[in-house]
A and B are shown apart, each in its own frame.
Chain A
Amino acid sequence: MTPRRALAVSAVSAVAAAAAALAWLFFIGLPRWYGGPAKAAAAPAPVQVPAGRKIKARLFYVAADGSSLTSVERDVAYGEGTAGQAKEIVNAQIAPVTEPLLSAVPPGTTLRALFVTANGEAYVDFSREITAAHPGGSLDELLTVYTIVNALTVNLPAVSAVQVLVNGMEVDTLAGHVDLRHPLAKNLAWVQ
């Protein structure tokens, strides 16, 4: 390499180094010095939830006398935010169980969607099995409804009332008895 050529290479390297330093200064350094903390709060880095993280939740099943509910504490998958956690609780609540537990939610029922309004009303949309496979009777219907309502209102303080939807639609009742046209509040009178 001739001295002339060596000088040229050094110049190019210096320019590249200066450009890199400037780029770091503008895109990383300055933001960190001036706007860094605010930006970090607005868009936090995703929380790395350890796989299999659980919360404790009270779920509700038909009591031995058949005319009330009994609550059982269970591990339920962690969900992000109120709506995310509500979905995990509902999915755990409607999951098939074996004796001695007996679910008041008809078998085959699935959760289609769930959202929570700013004033704490949860809208829970189930598949049509919740009505089509329902055995009927005022009591069974009350137990089904308050299984869902209590599962959310007892475990999530941010949820004050629950309205059950079916196939994306508001319904009058599940089986001809309980009025589902409005959100229902927690009712522990049905729990032993």
Chain B
Amino acid sequence: MNFRSLPGGSKAPALLCAGPALLCAIVSVAILLFARGLASQGVAQPSPLTLLAKEGRRVIPVSLINDQEFVALDDLAPIFQLTVREESLALTVSYKGKIIVLTSDQGLASVAGKLVSLPAPPTRVGRRWLVPLEFISRALAPIYDTRLELRKASHLLIAGDLRVPQVTVRYEPVGTAARLTVDATPRATSTVSQDNDRLTIKFDADALDIAISPLPPLPSQGVLQGVRVLDPVALAVDLGPRFAGLKASTQPVDQTMRLVIDLLSTQTPTETAGPVPAPPPPAAPAPDLSALNQPVSAVRTIAIDPGHGGDDEGAKGDGGVKEKDVTLSVARRVKASIEARLGIRVMLTRDDDRNVPLDERTAVANNNKADLFISLHANASLRKSAVGVSIFSVAFDQAAEQAARLTLAPERLPTFNGGLRDIELVPWDLAQIGHIDQSIELATILERQFHDRIALSPRPIVRAPLRVLESANMPAVLVEMGYLTNPDQEKQLAGADFQNAVVQAVFEAVLKFRDALDQGRLAAAGGTP
């Protein structure tokens, strides 16, 4: 397929990308976004279909008939080298000897001898035959030489092996700061660069399938002015006067590459722009949502580790409930709860049924600078009567711990610019040593939250040399939620009520730990044995 070699006499009002590619692309994207904007406002005119191919872009008009979107065969024919023939009771569309037969009164098509369904029969408008959009994906794509992918929701038609990730942008205010979450599916890497008052997010892709959620009203003196499309593979983030810096991190989540940009604010909680305003009228208590109005917290990212996975099923109850399934289910609930109610980013070390090595689990937390690490597990005992929650923090061998503490002393090392800098070198396997006190504190807070909700085990707080905690460079605990080997508790662990009780306990514990940390009520990192 070569658009530029097509005869210019196409009767369709298609935009031929003969001009400078960049200008053409901007116009196309602008048209696409503008059209989407119109659609979102309820105007009946449907947005056109944008065809993306290696040769460039072009738009194909779309008509709306009885709430069904149609494209004209006249428009498709020159682009895809189709021959359309009208016969008495049928339309015949041929491509390189392969035949599609459509009948005017049925939502069916014969595609190279195979019958496929269409949401509506072809419709004649004047002298033009219109076919439903799905004609492209269900009838044309199976016989076409090049891969055709129709993304109906975004009105994109992708021809060939182009990398066109779906990109979504979410904005969350966090006190006077803000967080942008940019998801690219399938995974596409991106780079973030700053140029004065603008950030540019450039994707390693051929084009973007973009949906920017409408941003809430932004304060004119805040950290963010807006997000817009900069070019076919880049977004621009316009920064506000309060912007003080940023922290960006990426993490793969299933087929998505998630980019999180925290925009830090120069504004402190005590700053006021003018006279002290009158105190607001008393409002109904809303402890969950009030967290969004707090200043930037010391706990901004949490890693939740659903234990086991894949061929490592973990413990298993007599009723068939597997530890790996319970931990994943609870982890997803915890993530949804904390992200929605606290505005804290939550990363899962796995979000599907796969085996993740222990070091990789802590690497997700360490590399993304998580502020807490919580590993979720379900217990097993040879005595079926054993029940209850246990919370573990790490215990190191005394000799190893003493040796490691010596290495925690900062070492003065030369830097590239010729100076010297104190660098703290922490052995990977002993990274937790500096956080033991806070981990024990987190375990204690968790125990208090579990106490009123779920039965505690006879040993609710335990210290042990648990492998997955040793490498975590942040406060870290492992929660054994209950015993799968106890028949009653096995049923509970698989149920939503019990899982939600666990989620609520973890949520409250995170909230209380964060508050204690923010208010300076916890020991600083660098715990004692």
Q: B262 contacts the other chain (Cβ, under 8 Å)? A: no
Assess whether A65 is in contact with B464, with CB atoms less than 8 Å apart.
no
Assess whether B397 is in contact with A138, with CB atoms less than 8 Å apart.
no
Q: Which A residues touch B316, using CB under 8 A? A: 135-136
Assess whether B464 is in contact with A140, with CB atoms less than 8 Å apart.
no
Assess whether B459 is in contact with A67, with CB atoms less than 8 Å apart.
yes
> Can you sample 18 A-B contacts with CB below 8 Å?
A62-B381, A66-B385, A67-B458, A68-B459, A102-B383, A135-B316, A135-B380, A136-B315, A136-B316, A137-B315, A137-B380, A138-B480, A161-B397, A173-B467, A176-B358, A177-B467, A178-B464, A178-B465
Q: B308 contacts the other chain (Cβ, under 8 Å)? A: yes
Interface size of A as a range: 20 to 34
- Give the distance to chain A from B122, nearest Cβ to Cβ, in Å: 59
Assess whether B480 is in contact with A66, with CB atoms less than 8 Å apart.
no
Q: A22 contacts the other chain (Cβ, under 8 Å)? A: no
Which residues of B are interface residues toward A (Cβ below 8 A)? 307-308, 312-316, 323, 358, 377-386, 390, 392, 397-398, 400, 429, 457-459, 464-468, 470, 478, 480, 483-485
Q: Which B residues touch A173, using CB under 8 A? A: 358, 467
Q: Which A residues touch B378, using CB under 8 A? A: 137
Q: Which B residues touch A124, using CB under 8 A? A: none
Neighbour of A140 across the interface among B312, B313, B382, B457, CB < 8 A: B382
Assess whether B398 is in contact with A138, with CB atoms less than 8 Å apart.
no
Bound CA span A173–B478, Å? 15
Q: Which B residues touch A176, using CB under 8 A? A: 307-308, 312, 314, 358, 467-468
Assess whether B307 is in contact with A140, with CB atoms less than 8 Å apart.
no
Q: Which A residues touch B379, using CB under 8 A? A: 137-140
- Give the distance to chain B from A27, nearest Cβ to Cβ, in Å: 53
> Given the known A-B contacts A62-B382, A65-B383, are A138 and B377 also in contact in the complex, defined by CB atoms under 8 Å?
yes
- Give the distance to chain B from A131, nearest Cβ to Cβ, in Å: 11
Contacts between chains A and B (CB distance < 8 A), count = 106
Assess whether B478 is in contact with A138, with CB atoms less than 8 Å apart.
yes
Interface of B is mostly: mixed
- Which of A13-21, A40-48, A52-60, A179-187 lies at the interface with chain B? A179-187
Bound CA span A100–B125, Å? 87
Bound CA span A161–B470, Å? 19
Q: Which A residues touch B483, using CB under 8 A? A: 137
> Given the known A-B contacts A64-B383, A102-B383, A137-B378, are A142 and B315 also in contact in the complex, defined by CB atoms under 8 Å?
no
Assess whether B390 is in contact with A138, with CB atoms less than 8 Å apart.
yes
Assess whether B382 is in contact with A172, with CB atoms less than 8 Å apart.
no
> Given the known A-B contacts A135-B485, A179-B470, A185-B398, are A66 and B465 also in contact in the complex, defined by CB atoms under 8 Å?
no
Q: A104 contacts the other chain (Cβ, under 8 Å)? A: yes
Q: Which B residues touch A140, using CB under 8 A? A: 315, 379-382
Assess whether A104 is in contact with B382, with CB atoms less than 8 Å apart.
yes
Bound CA span A179–B377, Å? 16
Assess whether A65 is in contact with B390, with CB atoms less than 8 Å apart.
no
> Given the known A-B contacts A65-B386, A176-B307, are A137 and B464 also in contact in the complex, defined by CB atoms under 8 Å?
no
Q: Which B residues touch A177, using CB under 8 A? A: 377, 464, 466-468, 478
Assess whether B381 is in contact with A67, with CB atoms less than 8 Å apart.
yes
